[in-house]
Amino acid sequence: MKINEKCIGCGSCEPYCPMNAIRKTSNEKKYFIDLDECVECGICKEFSNCPKDAIENTDLDHTRSIRKEFSDPKAPHVSSTGTYGRGTAEMKTNEVTGLIRKGYTALSLEIGRPGMGAKFSDIEKITKKLAKKKVTFAPESPLTYLIQNQDTGEIKKDYLNEKVLSAIVEFVIKTDRLAEILKAIKEVSSEIDTVFSLCIAEKEQGNTDFPILKIAEKQGFKVSINGKTNMGLGRPLYKEEQ
Amino acid sequence: MTHTLYREGNRKNLSNDFILFAVPSRNHIPGTSKNLKKFFKILLKHHPINYGSMDIGNKYGVEKEEILAKIGDDSAIHAAFDNEKDFQSALKEVKEADLGISVIASGLMDRVYQLAQEIGIERHTVEYSLGIWGKIENLPDKKILEITTMCGHGMITEKIVKKLIEEVRSHKCTAKKAAEKLSANCHCGIFNTIRAEKLIKEIVLDKKYLFNS
């Protein structure tokens, strides 16, 4: 994004930037966008009602376009999956896909959320930590396409300085490994310069007493009172025994 | 895509916050738009306070007829409800329509469970947040987060919420109008304007939150 010479310095765009990347010029007469911090989400252009229409999209090279794909919900992941959003359909279509079976738990870490953003150098700290634990990153996730080496969790070097509003690390593990993985997640949380939102998902076991919640609580995680429920209304394309 | 999951709040202010949405499976794409359109039409009958789709826009930016016309095979369709009755009646009609597409609800887990059970729905999979980790000391105040996290894609900033709160405080804008302005930024239509209006009113009345000083 760019603020051009038509800017009159009214500042109407400034509070719209989630990364605080819109700043005053040194003479305090106009505003500019700090491109290191800008994640190309486009909120400033779309919603701030600039009276001079001074906010422009700019041409993005192949590395910078990643910022837009992970930050602007209206931009599909043209570099990878072609889909919208920041992750996969995960548990939302589980009754159709059978992604999460009995005895398995899905985990998702949305790095940079809420509202703080994340550089891929920080995201890599998490993917490296989890790769050491031999997790298999979700193959349909846009983030997985940026991981150069699935065994080490290294992200392609070209992207390490790019910043996004958030990116999601997703994987499914056997539930008996949940405590070990949560411990690793807790450890890496103190090594990053941003935040992440963490969730776990499990297939209904025929009761309301989900064992994964007890495991999480035992590891020092507070389970939310609100969450997401797949109502099982889709047509299955799998059989549990497969 | 966990955009409806991490809504901050307490039992009281989340008790009027339910989202119902449909997501096409990537293996089910051809012809799905027909059923997504039926789904959207059902939602509209049950007084949603907001609705929309990530790739099209929401109630506060796009007419419902336009949303309906633009629903594609890969659209995810959402609606927000501010009470259990409308949420449950919408879910019941969706179940009866037997559309064969994945339908997901977000809200207080025990209430969603019970409301679904009452209409004969056995849930398939559940997802719980385990909170926010990392540099949490740099996050906005919890009351502000209760508003900003109602857009899961981070399109509603701390600064714009604070600016609008001050406009409400100085009578330049009503809390309702402020909530609707915020809602425009959330493309998916999952921002609960009624809950946001209540939260803004609470913050305005609390002298602890003076953002211009």
Tens digit of each residue's pLDDT (9 = 90 or more) over B151-178: 999 999 999 999 999 999 999 999 999 9
pLDDT for residue B212 is more than 80: no
Cross-chain residue pair A114–B6, CB shorter than 8 Å: yes
What b/e sequence results for B11-29 when a residue is b if at least 16 CB atoms lie within 10 Å of its CB, and e otherwise? eebbbbbbbbbbbbbeebe
Residues 6 or more apart in contact with residue A101 via CB below 8 angstroms: A203, A240
Q: How far is A238 from chain B (nearest CA, A)?
A: 11
Nearest Cβ partner for B128 among A90, A96, A224: A224
Instruction: Assess if residue A66 is contained within a domain.
Output: no
**Domain co-membership, A54 together with A93:** no
By residue range, what is the domain housing residue A40? 1-58
**Mean of the per-residue pLDDT values of chain A:** 93
Residues with pLDDT less than 50, chain A: none
Strands (E) located in chain B: 18-23, 50-53, 57-58, 77-81, 102-108, 125-134
Q: Helices (H), strands (E): how many in chain B?
A: 9, 6
Residue in B76, B94, B133 nearest the CB of A196: B133
In a domain? residue A40:
yes
Q: Which chain A residues touch B1 with a CB distance below 8 Å?
A: 85-90, 92, 168
Q: What residue ranges do the domains of chain B occupy?
A: 11-118, 136-205
- Whether A112 and A42 map to the same domain: the answer is no
- Per-residue pLDDT at B213: 45
Instruction: Return the CATH number at A9.
Output: 3.30.70.20
Instruction: Give the pLDDT score at B55.
Output: 87
* Residues of chain A numbered 179-198 and touching chain B (CB < 8 Å): 182, 185-186, 189-190, 192-198
Best of B58, B93, B125, B142 to substitute, by most chain A Cβ atoms within 10 angstroms, is B125
Between CA B205 and CA A165 the distance in angstroms is: 32
Whole-number Å distance between alpha carbons of A150 and A130: 10
Does residue A46 sit within a domain?
yes
How high is the pLDDT of residue B198?
97
> Are the C-beta atoms of residues A100 and A172 closer than 8 Å to each other?
yes
State yes or no: pLDDT of B28 exceeds 70.
Answer: no
A3: Cα separation from own chain's centroid: 27
Is residue A162 domain-shared with residue A214, that is, in the same domain? yes
Task: Indicate the fold that domain B11-118 takes in CATH.
Answer: Alpha-Beta Plaits (3.30.70)
And the tokens for B190?
A: 């999952």
Indicate if A27 and A125 belong to the same structural domain: no
Does residue A138 lie in a domain region? Answer: yes
pTM of the prediction?
A: 0.95
pLDDT for A170 equals: 96
Average pLDDT value over all residues in chain B: 94
Among the partner-chain residues A115, A194, A213, the one whose CB lies closest to the CB of B157 is A115
Look up residue A27 and give its two tokens: 């003479």
Please give the Cα distance from B74 to B25 (Å, whole number): 8
Please tell me the distance from the alpha carbon of residue A61 to that of residue A25, in angstroms, as a whole number.
25
Residue of B nearest to A82 (CA): B74
ipTM of the complex: 0.94
Task: Let me know whether A122 and A195 are in one domain.
Answer: yes
Contacts of A203 in chain B (CB under 8 A): 124-125
Q: Which residues between 26 and 85 in chain A have a beta carbon less than 8 angstroms from any beta carbon of chain B?
A: 41, 43, 47, 71, 73-74, 83-85
- Tell me, yes or no, whether A212 and A143 share the same domain: yes
Q: A84 and A43, same structural domain?
A: no
- Put residue A239 in one of left, alpha, beta given phi > 0 → left and psi -120 to 50 → alpha: beta
Domain count, chain A: 2
Whole-number pLDDT of residue A173: 97
What pLDDT sits at residue A91? Answer: 84
Which DSSP category does A140 fall into?
T
Residue B31: CB atoms within 10 A of its CB come to 9
Residue of B nearest to A73 (CA): B54
Q: Are B119 and B91 in contact (CB under 8 A)?
A: yes
Residue B2 has pLDDT above 80, yes or no: no
Whether A212 maps to a domain, the answer reads yes
CATH number at residue A97: 3.30.70.260
Largest CA distance in chain B: 56
Both A28 and A141 in one domain: the answer is no
